[in-house]
């Protein structure tokens, strides 16, 4: 991973809602009241070891490298504008030069904001890819839970100790690899997402008025 930001692979799967939704079939419900069956899933291990999860890393690194290039290009542009402005100081009216200097200062001050935007865009791109993995994994979890007659599925990090026979991580990875070998990490534009959100809100408000 580059120094621009870390790709938060560990614990990034968002399947909390899946745990709530996974309930045994009616036939096993009565039995579960007597002897609860608890299963464990290591979500970070699924991402780290599954083929789909591993396919994300090089794509995220590529997007990260491009983000670094974009930021460096913006820095170089500002540096050049600053040098050019200094050379022109004696060639233009003082008030005009001051105005240009202020505009340049705004660009410089916006660099940290631009970096945060890039970080956010990469984070969203990663999460969208993880969501695609979740869509394929959820039916797998449901099937395993039903076959094992389980009543509860817990994340491994939330459990201090559990016997190995309760851990279904490797089984999930094996089944996931059969159904999904790669996942696409799409480049995200935060500005475009904001525009779409505003457009959706506008359409929703228009619908209410009708």
Query: Among 40, 48, 39, 38, which Cα is nearest to 11's?
Result: 48
Rounded distance, CA 46 to CA 52, Å? 9
pLDDT, position 89: 86
> 110 pLDDT exceeds 70?
yes
Query: Among 68, 42, 70, 20, which Cα is nearest to 157's?
Result: 42
Query: Is the pTM above the cut of 0.85?
Result: no
Rounded distance, CA 209 to CA 41, Å? 47
pLDDT, position 4: 41
> 12 pLDDT exceeds 90?
no
Confidence of residue 22 (pLDDT cuts 50, 70, 90): low
pLDDT, position 15: 45
Mean pLDDT over residues 25-40, rounded? 68
> 43 pLDDT exceeds 60?
yes
Confidence of residue 26 (pLDDT cuts 50, 70, 90): low
Could you please state the CATH topology (level 3) that the domain comprising 16-61+123-209 is classified under.
Protein Binding, DinI Protein; Chain A (3.30.910)
Confidence of residue 204 (pLDDT cuts 50, 70, 90): confident
């Amino acid at each position: 991973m580059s120094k621009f930001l870390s790709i938060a692979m560990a614990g990034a799967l968002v399947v909390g809602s899946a745990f709530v939704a996974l309930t045994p079939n009616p036939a096993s419900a009565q039995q579960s009241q007597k002897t609860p069956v608890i299963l464990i899933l290591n979500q970070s291990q699924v991402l780290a070891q599954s083929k789909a999860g591993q396919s994300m890393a090089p794509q995220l690194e590529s997007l990260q490298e491009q983000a670094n290039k974009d930021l460096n290009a913006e820095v170089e542009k500002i540096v050049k504008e600053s040098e050019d402005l200094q050379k022109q100081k004696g060639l233009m009216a003082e008030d005009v030069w001051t105005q240009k200097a202020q505009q340049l200062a705004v660009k410089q001050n916006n660099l940290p904001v631009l970096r945060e935007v890039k970080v956010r865009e990469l984070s969203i791109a990663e999460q969208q890819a993880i969501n695609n993995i979740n869509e394929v994994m959820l039916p797998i979890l449901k099937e395993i839970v039903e076959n094992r007659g389980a009543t509860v599925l817990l994340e491994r990090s939330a459990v201090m100790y559990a016997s190995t026979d309760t851990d279904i991580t490797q089984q999930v990875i094996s089944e996931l690899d059969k159904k999904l070998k790669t996942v696409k990490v799409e480049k995200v534009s935060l500005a475009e997402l904001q525009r779409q959100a505003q457009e959706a809100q506008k359409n929703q408000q228009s619908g209410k008025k009708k």
